[in-house]
Amino acid sequence: MKHDRELVGAGTALVTPFRVDGSVDLEVFRVLVRRQVEAGVRLLVPCGTTGESATLSPEERELLVRATVEEAAGRALVVAGTGSNDTRLAAAMARAAAGWGADAVLSLAPPYVKPPQDALIDHFRAVAEAARVPVVVYNVPSRVGCNLRAETTLALAEVPGIAGVKEAAGDMDQAMEILRSKPRGFAFLSGEDALALPLLALGAEGVISVVGNEAPRDLVELVTLARAGRIAQARAVHERLLPLMRANFCESNPIPVKAAMARMGLLDERLRRPLRPLAASRVAELEAACVAAGLTCHAASSAAPHPALVR
């Protein structure tokens, strides 16, 4: 059945698995994408921060986006991560992702250069004009060094082609102002796992999460319950997942989530430098969070591998 094209519901910022030689493990990646689709995840986000996008070549990005599109097969929307501190490159990346079959793009605010707010509007307008698919702007000040203020996001909501925001500033006052004032049809997607439930209760359309990599069915349940107004039931799921949501950021994302998935037998714990595997001092915290979330988690050396990992 062809999936509807609304940017709503549970979304996962997909990890990128790597082989021993450091290359992208496309076979395991496809298994992970199928796991997401089978769990009912509506928004699949390859090549984002969680996917170590900063270390991916253009060729690897194409492989990952095309693989996600093929595995989704219309059952979920593919929102490809794009973005650059060069507006020309950001626009070209968005257009390329559309050509690879992405349903939408998630365009990161320009890292490092700290543009003024009016320049951010011009930047994203250029991306939207080039993209040919809906653009979700991504506000994550802790990563890029600049914040899309509420008034800026609301101005972007009026730009043709800009369909939503992934808001990860961690500022509830800013988020509430966007939710209060945004036009109908402009999607507000939480980019903070731990704030997803309160933001959904306030009217957010969905979430693009890290914890969905480990617990996609639980994430879908949380978002479905919250969007249906069944807040007490959603709160129970939220409270069970909250320790894991926090543990996923005990070190730089995606170090912890890959460590957890390795202990679940879903992938091998490999990251591209300058990242490295989870520090030994953090392992007990992460494993306890996995247990609290109801996940089967083993020591990394004894985790039963996913069949795709058996070469």
The answer to whether the peptide bond before residue 274 is cis (omega within 30 degrees of 0) is yes
Looking at residue 298, its pLDDT comes to: 77
CA distances from 246 to 89, 159, 193, 253 (A): 34, 35, 8, 11
Looking at residue 305, its pLDDT comes to: 53
- Would 259 be classed as within a structural domain? no
Q: In sequence order, which residues have a C-beta less than 8 Å from that of residue 303 and are 6 or more positions away?
A: 262, 263, 264, 265, 297
pLDDT along the chain (311 residues), means of 10: 73 98 97 98 97 97 98 97 96 98 97 96 98 97 95 98 97 98 97 97 98 98 98 98 98 98 97 97 96 84 49 33
Looking at residue 221, its pLDDT comes to: 98
Tell me which residue range forms the domain holding 123: 9-228
- Which is catalytic among the residues 2, 112, 138, 182? 138
- Would 144 be classed as within a structural domain? yes
3-state secondary structure 220-246: HHHHHHHHCCCHHHHHHHHHHHHHHHH
- Which is catalytic among the residues 2, 112, 114, 166? 166
User: What is the Cα 112 distance to its own chain's centre?
Assistant: 21
Residue with tokens 């988690």: 297
Assess whether 166 carries a catalytic annotation: yes
- Would 267 be classed as within a structural domain? no
Q: How far apart are CA 259 and CA 300, in angstroms?
A: 8
Looking at residue 301, its pLDDT comes to: 47
- Would 286 be classed as within a structural domain? no
Give the tokens for residue 37. Answer: 């689709």
- Would 252 be classed as within a structural domain? no
3-state class of 132 per DSSP? coil
241 residue type, one letter: L
Q: How far apart are CA 136 and CA 164, in angstroms?
A: 5
Contact 53, 45 (CB under 8 A): no
CA distances from 134 to 95, 101, 287 (A): 11, 12, 38
Q: How far apart are CA 164 and CA 184, in angstroms?
A: 10
Q: How far apart are CA 311 and CA 308, in angstroms?
A: 7
Looking at residue 4, its pLDDT comes to: 58
Assess whether 114 carries a catalytic annotation: no
Domains identified in the chain, total number = 1
CATH of the domain at 79: 3.20.20.70
